[in-house]
């Protein structure tokens, strides 16, 4: 084997050693490759920066009100005034770094918010894509849960506890047929689009309407009824669970996959019947 071949092999091995850790690190944050123009910060550095930066929670107000990082401002990326709010925030705090966050490593909201800032030339904005759960687990005294300092990480609801309260649409429908249940559709107007799944049996209360939710929660508790709740896709109810637990609701279930799954399963049933 000549010296040129040896050199090529050495270079290839060196590149392999260098590249592998980078790929591995990026695989922990799968959305980063989709937003190469953004700057990121990970947990350890963010904790050190915490007191010096401005923190913006880009999720919905409902998610923010349930759990957020202490001192974070809520500017929902989905709202039309997001860019305007960020431009004002930047103008009022010219020298401070702004850190955006959402739910976690697979949540894309903080990335999309960062891209909006980039597109509108709002500078010195970085993304903490570890998300609210990672930060709150590591820093429970810097997390606000249902309006109060969380204090300890064990107050976070595990995936197992959430899973325990999901039932499939067949079981959901069976339980609706009993007298000791109360059904609530928590979808918003756009998601519902006039379509009620259980006409004459369900109540309606958007997740953001705490007054209406409290009315039905109190009704269920007073009459020892099980709450049966469904959203659009089975994802929003994870936040409602914190509220139900805070309200000490003894019995409640969510429909797995939400309205979308229910409609999809009905179509399968009809297709099989044909």
pLDDT at 25: 43
The mean-pLDDT minimum among 191-195, 196-200, 201-205, 237-241 falls in 191-195
Residues 175 and 232 in one domain: yes
Same domain, 191 and 252: yes
Q: For residue 269, what pLDDT is reported?
A: 62
Question: Contact 220/194 with Cβ under 8 angstroms?
Answer: no
Residues of the chain with pLDDT > 90, as a percent, come to: 75
CATH number at residue 48: 3.40.250.10
pTM here is: 0.79
Residue 165: which domain range?
Answer: 159-268
Q: How many domains does the chain have?
A: 2
pLDDT band at 12 (very low <50, low <70, confident <90, very high): very low
Query: Within a domain: residue 8?
Result: no
pLDDT digits (tens, 9 = 90+) for 223-235: 999 999 999 999 8
173 and 125 co-located in one domain:
no
47 plus 104 within the same structural domain? yes
CB of 186 closer than 8 Å to CB of 230: yes
**Domain closes at, from 155, 170, 186:** 155
């Amino acid at each position: 084997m000549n010296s040129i071949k040896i050199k090529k092999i050495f270079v290839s091995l060196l590149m392999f050693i260098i590249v592998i850790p980078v790929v591995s690190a990026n695989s922990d944050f799968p959305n980063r490759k989709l937003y190469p123009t953004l700057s990121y910060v990970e947990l350890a550095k963010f904790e050190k920066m915490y007191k010096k930066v401005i923190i913006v929670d880009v999720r919905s107000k409902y998610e923010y009100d349930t759990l957020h990082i202490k001192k974070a401002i809520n500017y929902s990326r989905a709202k039309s005034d997001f860019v305007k709010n960020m431009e004002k925030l930047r103008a009022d705090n010219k020298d401070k770094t702004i850190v955006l966050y959402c739910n976690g490593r697979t949540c894309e909201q903080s990335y999309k918010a960062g891209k909006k800032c980039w597109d509108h030339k709002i500078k010195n904005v970085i993304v903490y894509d570890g998300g609210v759960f990672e930060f709150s687990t590591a820093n429970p005294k810097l997390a606000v849960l249902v309006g109060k300092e969380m204090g300890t990480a064990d107050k976070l609801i595990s995936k197992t506890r959430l899973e325990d309260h999901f039932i499939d649409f067949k079981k959901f429908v069976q339980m609706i047929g009993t007298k000791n249940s109360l059904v609530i559709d928590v979808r918003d107007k756009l998601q519902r689009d006039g379509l009620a799944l259980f006409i004459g049996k369900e109540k309606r209360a958007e997740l953001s309407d705490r007054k209406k939710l409290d009315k039905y929660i109190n009704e269920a508790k007073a009459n020892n009824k099980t709450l049966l709740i469904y959203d659009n896709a089975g994802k929003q109810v994870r936040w409602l669970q914190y509220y139900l637990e805070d309200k000490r609701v003894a019995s409640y279930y969510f429909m797995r996959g939400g309205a979308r799954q229910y409609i999809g399963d009905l179509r399968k049933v009809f297709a099989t019947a044909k």
